[in-house]
Structure 1
Amino acid sequence: MQIDPHTPTTKNPPEQFTGDVWLDRIAFPREPGQRMVVAKVRFAPGARTAWHSHAHGQTLHITQGTAWVGSRSGQKVEAHAGQTLYCPPNEQHWHGASADSFMEHLAMLDNADDPATTTTWLEHVTDEEYLTG
């Protein structure tokens, strides 16, 4: 058993996010065969990810605020603190804060066999895609 040392909060890169987004690592693979990754991610109002997908899907548990999550099908859902949302493997989607609220979620996923292929990042979500749906 061990307590991990404090890991500084990082600001997510603008190539993959619009607006201000901060990440705290919670869990990551430590030994061969382990795949689980968990992060606490905080979004300023209007901030969001770029379009992306995950090889093994992704679970988002909203801990604060209001989240908007969109998929390529045009579906956009609103989720609130205490709700959990699942995006299936390889579904192209985005997620972020609503336009007028900070939002925090736990992002949970399993790494792919090659961790570099766990998440496929695509183009930025346009303002129109973000606001409609």
Structure 2
Amino acid sequence: MAPARTRATNSPRGRAVPAAEAAGRSTHAKGQVLYVTDGVGLVSTRDSDVVRITASETVKCPADEGHWHGATDTPLMAHIAMVVGDESGDGTTWLEPVTDEQFTAALDATGR
């Protein structure tokens, strides 16, 4: 299932330099919303669906959907990441690292 686009408000900010993907895939017990404030990024699901995101766009990753996000290989990407916590914390579970091959495939899938 591809991530769905939605609206967002406020939360901690993140930045990714060009060609910097997340350290690994993660899941969030109640989902995650990403709002891009600058640049161009990618969001990829465990089944390799990829969404290219740009400034002022928002992506919602469903609850417990393994995914990663990061900048493309050109501009910096800045974003606001929002999660809803649960009784044990923020509900994030870190999974396996994203490989260089997976990152390159995601870039290729979006036309770089």
Report the TM-score, using the length of structure 2 for normalisation: 0.81
Q: How does 1:39-50 map to 2 (within 5 A)?
A: 39-49=12-22, 50=24
SS of equivalent to 1:82: coil
SS of equivalent to 2:12: strand
Cα shift at 1:101: 1.4
1:127 matched to 2:96: no
User: Which residue pairs with 2:84 in the alignment?
Assistant: 110
Percent of paired sites with the same residue: 38
Cα shift at 1:70: 0.4
1:64 matched to 2:38: yes
Distance 1:59 1:98 in 2: 19
Cα shift at 1:100: 1.3
Q: Which contiguous aligned blocks of 4+ residues in structure 1 show a shift greater than 4 angstroms?
A: none
Q: Which runs of 5+ in 1 are unaligned?
A: 1-36
Q: Report the number of matched residues.
A: 96
Structure number with greater Rg is: 1
Q: CA RMSD in A?
A: 1.3
Larger RCO: 1 or 2 (CA < 8 Å, sep 6+): 2
SS of equivalent to 2:96: coil
1:75 matched to 2:42: no
Cα shift at 1:112: 1.3
Cα shift at 1:60: 0.3
Distance 2:59 2:67 in 1: 12
Q: Look up the equivalent residue of 1:68 and give its one-letter code.
A: L
Cα shift at 1:102: 0.5
Q: Look up the equivalent residue of 1:127 and give its one-letter code.
A: D
Q: Look up the equivalent residue of 1:100 and give its one-letter code.
A: T
Report the TM-score, using the length of structure 1 for normalisation: 0.69
